[in-house]
Amino acid sequence: MSRLIIVSNRVQPPTGEGGGNQGGLAVALSAALLESSGIWFGWSGETTEQFSGHINMQRNYGVTTATIDLEEQDVEEYYNGYANRTLWPLFHYRVDIAEFESGFAEGYERVNTRFAETLEPLIEPDDLVWVHDYHLFPLGQRLRERGIGNRIGFFLHIPWPPYQLLLSLPNHRQLVETLFDYDVVGFQTADSLENFLEYVRQEMGGTTDGDGRVTVGDRSIVAIACPIGIDTANFVEASQSAGARYTCYRMRQSANGRDMIVGVDRLDYSKGLEERFLGYERYLATHEQQHGEVFLLQIAPPSRGDVQSYQEIRASLDALSGRINGAFADIEWVPIRYVNRGYPRDRLAGIYRAARIGLVTPLRDGMNLVAKEYVAAQDPEDPGVLILSRFAGAAEQMTDALLINPHSPEEICDAITRALAMPLEERIARWRKLMDNIEAEDVMWWRRRFTEALEKAPQMAA
């Protein structure tokens, strides 16, 4: 087995709590690194006055991490700028809020070059290099320029936008060309893969064959749809832990016989939180007899607070939840419990299990792991119902959820009505099918599928 080098913007080494507080992705990647004695390389999250290229190597529970500090200007232009104010909105179809500043693009190029410069000496001839996500599109190209001939793969965690939308990005072609320095490029869904291929055919005159080979000029890569899963066994275990059971019990006590609907999301405009609140408001407005019988618990830990659009969505949700609670609450019942903080994984699992409905309404999402975690945490004998946006990547696999258009308050309202009335037999039948998929295509399956494709790829000459 080749040694694996994983590169991502941030690095999440194991914490030694049996994966208890580590996300599924980190658990899966750590397992792969342990097996292959690999290295996880990325930004430390810290800033330094002047970039030195100093690598901080650490070993945590058998996993080696290598991190570098960046300058404040790097963080502003590369991370807050190009990654999160240009690419993130555009790739989530929000060209209306994407910002196109040339300074951001320069910072993005500079940091990718810095990553390549510092990473290069760590790479040995037989290593597989696996680059993650939109922060690092050009990294493969920067490594090739330094003579790295190893197999290098790239996986995109967010959606790939439709061809016409991508044209609004200045220098879009330059960005897409960087993907042709990888051997394997993975997308979350068939839909994203098709959008990518459409761009390649229309804009680059490329050709595709039935085996996933994509050719432009003299360069061929393999492009695959490879949907990420969760660490299902670990999450099921977490949902049966003492912490989860206690949290579930406490939630049910505090629900006091009311049905709970749960939403868990990073506070991000792509997650459709406003639309969710509006759909629930519609439900309350049209189901007066249900007042006092149901409530929505929305957990939304803040993220990317330095970026203005994130400050705006936060203010807007504060106002909306206040308005809805003001309009409908009475002295013994509050329709929305809106919580701006995160919880440990086992407690989260207990909260999912206590909820009659998992309400997941992104306007666009690469995958959405919360939908999968909600299903994994359910009691098989009395499972809740997943309501899922058809615009989440997860909807391609999770066709037994109640699929809705999150832009329509009516569809959200009708799905809540249907879920609350759904007979046990139907709930079990739907849950079983969802669970079968989550068990079969878990995060280890995803990781194997990608690394096997990468191992099979013909090695290019340096």
The binding site for ligand GDG (CB under 6 A) comprises 23-25, 157-158, 228, 264, 266, 299, 301, 342-345, 348, 365-370, 373
Cβ atoms of 415 and 386 within 8 Å: the answer is: no
CB of 323 to ligand GDG, least distance (A): 24
CB of 135 to ligand GDG, least distance (A): 12
Rounded Cα distance between 416 and 381, Å, is: 21
Rounded Cα distance between 42 and 61, Å, is: 18
Active-site choice (157, 172, 287, 407):
157
Task: Tell me the C-alpha to C-alpha distance, in Å, between residue 393 and each of 151, 364, 365, 442.
Answer: 27, 8, 6, 15
Cβ proximity to ligand GDG, 32 vs 299, nearer residue: 299
Contacts 24+ apart (CB under 8 A), 119-122: 119/5, 119/7, 119/41, 119/66, 119/143, 120/146, 120/148, 122/5, 122/39, 122/41, 122/55, 122/66
Cβ proximity to ligand GDG, 43 vs 328, nearer residue: 43
Rounded Cα distance between 141 and 137, Å, is: 8
Cβ proximity to ligand GDG, 141 vs 389, nearer residue: 389
Rounded Cα distance between 92 and 234, Å, is: 30
Cβ proximity to ligand GDG, 27 vs 457, nearer residue: 27
Question: Among candidates 41, 115, 40, which has minimal Cα distance to 74?
Answer: 115
Exposed e or buried b for every residue in 177-186, given b needs 16+ CB within 10 A? bbbbbbbbbb
- Whether the CA torsion 115, 118, 120, 122 is positive or negative: it is negative
Rounded Cα distance between 31 and 131, Å, is: 17
CB of 197 to ligand GDG, least distance (A): 20
CB of 406 to ligand GDG, least distance (A): 14
Cβ proximity to ligand GDG, 148 vs 375, nearer residue: 375
Cβ proximity to ligand GDG, 114 vs 304, nearer residue: 304
CB of 264 to ligand GDG, least distance (A): 5
Cβ atoms of 89 and 154 within 8 Å: the answer is: no
Rounded Cα distance between 77 and 248, Å, is: 43
Residues 310, 26, 248: CA angle, nearest 5 degrees:
75
CB of 211 to ligand GDG, least distance (A): 25
Residue 27 CB contacts under 8 Å (≥ 6 apart), including other chains:
14, 19, 231, 234, 443
> Torsion angle, CA of 155/161/165/169, rounded to 10 degrees?
-20
Token readout for 113 is: 């070059």
Cβ proximity to ligand GDG, 314 vs 345, nearer residue: 345
157 in catalytic set: yes
CB of 418 to ligand GDG, least distance (A): 24
The kind and range of the H/E element at 26 are: helix 24-36
The kind and range of the H/E element at 177 are: helix 172-178
CB of 129 to ligand GDG, least distance (A): 19
Cβ proximity to ligand GDG, 151 vs 372, nearer residue: 372
Active-site choice (365, 400, 414, 442):
365
Q: List, by residue number, the catalytic residues.
A: 157, 365
